[in-house]
Chains A and B, each alone.
Chain A
Amino acid sequence: MSEPPLIEVEDLNVSFPGRGGLTRAVRGASFSLGRERLGIVGESGSGKSTTGWALLGLVPRPGIVTARRMSLSGTDLLSLGESDWQSLRGRRMSMVMQDPKYSLNPVLRVGRQIQETYRLHHRSSAAEARRHALAMLEAVRIRDADQVFHLYPHQLSGGMGQRVMIAMMLIAEPDLLIADEPTSALDVTVQNQVLRILDDLVTVRGMGLIFISHNLTIVSSFCDRVLVMYGGRIVEECKADELDRAKHPYTRALIRAAPSLASYQPELSVVVRDPEWLA
């Protein structure tokens, strides 16, 4: 007997009504996720973040989400009311945003914010929450957790801030983490440390991870499987280490457009967009 996949999405559509008619941000996306690292790549405006929001029920108004099927470990997500979503978010699934500067409360010490998340999901005393928060900070490799606990977000470096965010998202022990460009604001060496933390959480805890990024190098080296999005559609799905053998012309053009450290091409090839891709 096999357990149902963590996430099953079939024919997901997200659209935003506006003056110029309906803007279709996600068009007919279908995918499933097990306990693995799934990468979503695409350019800005391709609908990759919107897909993440839709999974968390966070598509802002007046966005319209429709799907034939959207479920988390067998639980239907489409019929949920707002309070049902509240009980899933944080506890079952969580999201790490791009920039820690904007996702942390600037006037609260980080320790207090992490503690608050813990107490929201577990009945516990303040002391116990504090102990868990400290342990979590250590788990995301913050060396002097005791000190960081008492800092305000502006006192943290970018990499440190992102770790605090991850700690906060993971303290409720979700089954699914959606990381939306978690490393784009970070330096390359720090980037790899954050990736390692995420990697370990997937392998050790068996968490499912959706990793949204525009960086092909990172996605192909970090994830197990990759979805390539273009104009709201999933144009290609492949194994991450086979990304260089991608078939869709858009994916291939994207790969060729990136300058490479290994070899020099005098003229970078430019992505020529084919309206057929959206047909």
Chain B
Amino acid sequence: MIEVSNLAVTFRNGGRPVHAVRGVSFSVAEGETFGIVGESGSGKSTVLKAVAGLCATAGPSLTINGAAMGAKRSKAERRLMQFVFQDPYGSLHPRQTVDDMLREPLLIHGVTGVDAKVAEALADVGLEPQHRFRFPHQLSGGQRQRMAIARALILRPRILLLDEPTSALDVSIQAEILNLLSRLRRGYQLTSILVSHDLAVVAHLCSRIAIMQQGLLVEMLDVESLRRGQAKEAYTLELIAASRGYARAGQVTGSLLPAGKGSDMAGLARAVAVESRPGPSQGSGRD
């Protein structure tokens, strides 16, 4: 369904080129949910934007359903995929009601039966009819994200692109949104790409997961190996260990011995350095 080959994105920052994505290739089968994990600055969101046609890529590198995507997309091509952003408040127009926002894509694409479709979209994401004429500030965070999902799905896209859809939400609300996403994915037979920094969220929704670091795709894993922690790359293992929580005794990276001049702060730093080396008094190492 989605074929990305050797994708490269370069930004210019004050004349200096920044290689945000450096040659990333992957493919997503029809109906699959593909996950991309990485830390900030790894280029994971940029990959998603490039797939959506929201940023310029170096050369053609994307085919969808066998058709190569150019820099400029036709209306039909745009309708094929929709985007859900991280911050539900930032991605909704503050002066438009839920109804206005759901109506707009339908009008742009000349779809008929607008009223019924808006009502259906609201019901689909679990919003009540009374939410229809509210403004974003009158909705809770979870409701806003439901609204953003409704807007993405109202055009019946084949592909849904999710950029950190739950990272601004509380755990309890996150559970509701994740359940909603897995239900809709089945109902609409969506192919999706999910970008997140949270390994547990990605493992919950995705079957295959790509790990990105500094613009490169470091490793590709299926969800079973991720759950068992069977990764080959040191970076992936580090991410998995880190997401399991804080390990009391661990290795200290780098030297932190200051050039002590007898100050008490230098003394503290020295003590810290000694104390944080794994010692017999501390528990087991990383789990």
Contact = CB atoms under 8 A, between A and B. Distances in A.
Interface string B244-275: 11111010111010101101011011011001
Interface stretch (A78-86, A96-104, A264-272): A264-272
Contacts of B204: 259, 264, 268
B238 interface: yes
B58 interface: no
A143 B258 CA distance: 9
A135 B266 contact: yes
A236 B138 CA distance: 31
Contact of B254 (A141, A222, A267): A141
Interface residues of A, number: 53
A218 B245 contact: yes
B65 to A, nearest CB: 29
Contacts of B203: 259, 261, 264
B172 interface: yes
Contacts of B197: 187-188
B9 to A, nearest CB: 20
B179 A270 contact: yes
Interface string A195-219: 1110111011100000000101110
B-side interface size class: 35 or more
A64 interface: no
Nearest to A220: B245
Contacts of A147: none
A171 to B, nearest CB: 7
B200 interface: yes
Given A139-B258, A221-B246, A270-B179, A204 B170 contact: no
A167 to B, nearest CB: 9
B194 to A, nearest CB: 12
A258 interface: yes
Interface of A: 43-44, 131-132, 134-136, 138-139, 141, 143, 145, 158, 171, 187-193, 195-197, 199-201, 203-205, 214, 216-218, 220-222, 253-254, 257-264, 266-271
6 contacts: A136-B265, A138-B269, A196-B250, A196-B276, A259-B175, A264-B204
